[in-house]
Amino acid sequence: MPHVITQSCCNDGSCVYACPVNCIHPTPDEPGFAASEMLYIDPVACVDCGACVSACPVGAIVPDNRLEARQLPFVEINASFYPKRPAGEKLPPTSKLAPVIPAAEVRARRRPLTVAIVGSGPAAMYAADELLTQPGVRVNVFEKLPTPYGLVRAGVAPDHQSTKQVTKLFDRVAGHRHFRFYLNVEVGEHLSHADLSAHHHAVLYAVGAPEDRRLDIDGMGLAGTGTATQVVAWINGHPDFAGLAVDLSHERVVIIGNGNVALDVARVLTADPDDLARTDVSDRALDAFRRSAVREVVIAARRGPAHSAFTLPELIGLTGCSEVVLDAGNHELVARDLVTASDSLTRTKLEILSKLGDGSAPPPAAGRPRIRLAYQLTPERVLGEHRATGVEFSVTGTRELRRLDAGLVLTSIGYRGKMIRDLPFDESAGAVPNEDGRVVDPGSGRPMPGTYVAGWIKRGPTGFIGTNKSCSFQTVQALVADFNAGELAAPVARPEALEELVRARRPDVVGSAGWRAIDSAEVARGRRDGRPRNKFTEVADMLAAASTAPPPRRQKLLDRLLDRG
Ligand code: NAP
């Protein structure tokens, strides 16, 4: 009875290291890891010990006799990753690398390695986790919002609560006695790179890719147009987007691009609001869903089915919970691609697509709205004078034009990194130039001393939450190697001076205790309605909740007690 990894796999890789028989692949040090859509358990080598179940931060591993019907396709998907072999064949052990600060180094330096991390999403928290495995290291995390965890809080769809469970791991990291949160503090606004450098050996930017890639066609910008990532932030109650005007009074929404973000938005827009009411969806979005007139969400891709950007686990998840049909004539495209598809992942995607219903008839007037997947449609312009009334596409590679009426047109064509003050930026990649996480000055081709990047701002907006673990690990290895080589200048300021500086520049700074107070208040608000939490969507409300935390003196005392313990 082997264990099986299911659709909510986050590629974190913790299970790989927990497994005593090395039966989970690809491992972070294997070449296929970065491009893999999920991890796979080898059913022949699995000894059914369950060690991976407790290591998985998102509860994605299940013994095969406990799978729900919708998870059954994953038995075959896990197995098909491995070549057929005799039962019980042994595999070589997985290496467990860890950056090590030699004890002599620690004793020789009066100031322990102290690192500022900018941003508090998965890449930041995995970097902090890795750094804090080293003796004596101090980590200070700076975040512009009063709440941490970046896209896990504001980007993961609310109906994917198991994925959000990774915050429990992050809470544990944040509870380390050498970890400090400086929330509600914007680097570039309240503190500069030079300020951080003066107080730390190294500054590690893990700020993600906060902007959307924009589609440059006529009509984008009209009322009724927007981006899927803005809508995701609105659904999740991000304070900058909580008041977004999302008009759901029309029958059709068109989403341009077919990556996982497009699937997330389509799934939520067509979900039963009563199901969403049991999640941490924002109240305002939930209210809009209850009043929605949407009957169909069309996801339009410019290429053919074999080039779908969504991943197989997410397609299985979508077809298991939503009514999904294929655009008229698209079954022929799928059949054509099935003849030429060479890799098994694409074949499985195409087989699932081939079994979808035909979407030529209009959607039914009652019941749940449906999702229509459409291919070979290149967006040409948004129709409408004062507001969007539809989209005109060309059939890709031809001059044939096709119009789709819609009251809401969303682009979902990827995220983009934003320039960080005082750091170089590669406009074409939308990321900071770096080598293994060391920021590189393109002028001299040399690393900028003590400056590092991790996550999407380092490698571009690709991969899953857990992909950031190996990405951050690589950066931390480089950082620790530089520290051990004596290349990082010690902070010039006294340790207590940082706290004073931050409080002077940003009296409303929220620390770990403040975040715990916000967290408890949100969970308590949610509990009343059977929800995991009911988020504050206004910064003022977050700050009011944070202010109920124990005063800093009591907190300091608690910290000192912890330090002794
Ligand atoms: P994405 O996967 O990069 O997909 C972008 C889509 O936009 C593609 O279909 C692409 O088509 C299309 N596109 C790009 N430029 C276009 C243009 N000018 N006109 C029309 N279409 C265009 O982006 P994403 O959905 O934002 O996802 C970002 C990352 O987050 C991905 O790695 C994704 O897997 C991850 N993510 C994961 C989850 C999850 O695991 N549940 C959820 C959300 C996001 P072409 O292929 O033709 O360029």
pLDDT digits (tens, 9 = 90+) for 38-49: 999 999 888 888
Q: Is the separation of the CB atoms in 457 and 1 below 8 Å?
A: no
Q: Is the separation of the CB atoms in 444 and 487 below 8 Å?
A: no
CA–centroid distance, residue 414 to ligand 1 (Å): 5
- Name the residue with tokens 């009563």: 274
pLDDT at 70: 85
User: Exposure string (b/e) for 289-311, b if CB count within 10 Å is 16 or more?
Assistant: beebebbbbbbbbbbbbbebbbb
Interior CA angle at 439 toward 438 and 442, to 5°? 130
Give 419-456 pLDDT, tens digit per residue. 999 999 999 999 999 999 999 999 999 999 999 999 99
Where residue 89 falls among pLDDT bands split at 50, 70, 90? low
CA–centroid distance, residue 263 to ligand 1 (Å): 10
- 354 vs 529 pLDDT, higher one: 354
What one-character DSSP code corresponds to residue 489?
A: P
Rounded to 5 degrees, φ, ψ at 371 are -115, 130
Lowest-confidence segment of 80-94, 286-300, 361-375 by average pLDDT: 80-94
Report the pLDDT averaged over residues 490-506.
94
pLDDT at 135: 87
Using the atom order of ligand 1, give the atom closest to the CA of residue 10.
Answer: 40
**From atom 11 of ligand 1, which residue's Cα is the shortest distance away?**
257
Cis previous bond, 26, omega within 30: yes
Grouping H, G, I as helix, E, B as strand and the rest as coil, residue 514 is: helix
Q: Is the separation of the CB atoms in 363 and 330 below 8 Å?
A: no
CA distance 144 to 135: 28
By percentage, how much of the chain surpasses pLDDT 90? 76
Indicate whether 330 pLDDT > 70: yes
CA–centroid distance, residue 106 to ligand 1 (Å): 44
Q: Which of 260, 321, 378 gets mutated to test ligand 1 (max ligand atoms within 8 A of its CB)?
A: 260
**From atom 14 of ligand 1, which residue's Cα is the shortest distance away?**
413
pLDDT at 403: 98
Where residue 92 falls among pLDDT bands split at 50, 70, 90? low
SS3 content of the chain, % helix, strand, coil (to 5): 35, 20, 45
Grouping H, G, I as helix, E, B as strand and the rest as coil, residue 267 is: helix
Helix axes 312-321, 344-354, angle to 10 degrees: 20
Where residue 238 falls among pLDDT bands split at 50, 70, 90? very high
Indicate whether 306 pLDDT > 60: yes
Which residues surround ligand 1 with Cβ inside 6 Å? 215, 256-262, 264, 301-303, 307, 309, 311, 314, 379, 412-415, 461-464
Amino acid at 359: G
- 5 vs 552 pLDDT, higher one: 5
Indicate whether 90 pLDDT > 70: no
Report the pLDDT averaged over residues 160-167.
91
Report the pLDDT averaged over residues 280-292.
97
pLDDT at 12: 85
Indicate whether 31 pLDDT > 90: no
Where residue 146 falls among pLDDT bands split at 50, 70, 90? very high
Grouping H, G, I as helix, E, B as strand and the rest as coil, residue 470 is: helix
Q: Is the dihedral of CA 495, 497, 499, 505 positive or negative?
A: negative
CA–centroid distance, residue 409 to ligand 1 (Å): 16
Amino acid at 348: T
286-290 long-range Cβ contacts below 8 angstroms, 24+ apart: 288/246, 288/248, 289/248
**Which secondary structure element, helix H or strand E, spans residue 559, and what is its range?**
helix 552-564
Answer yes or no: pTM beyond 0.85: yes
pLDDT at 51: 82
Where residue 556 falls among pLDDT bands split at 50, 70, 90? low
pLDDT at 564: 46
Give 167-222 pLDDT, tens digit per residue. 998 999 999 999 999 999 999 999 999 999 999 999 999 999 999 999 999 999 99
CA–centroid distance, residue 519 to ligand 1 (Å): 31
Beta-carbon contacts of 414 under 8 Å, excluding residues fewer than 6 positions away, are: 212, 213, 257, 259, 461
CA distance 406 to 158: 25
CA–centroid distance, residue 515 to ligand 1 (Å): 32
Interior CA angle at 65 toward 62 and 70, to 5°? 70
Using the atom order of ligand 1, give the atom closest to the CA of residue 262.
Answer: 25
Where residue 69 falls among pLDDT bands split at 50, 70, 90? confident
For the chain, what is the mean pLDDT?
92
pLDDT at 302: 98
Lowest-confidence segment of 47-61, 149-163, 288-302, 325-339 by average pLDDT: 47-61
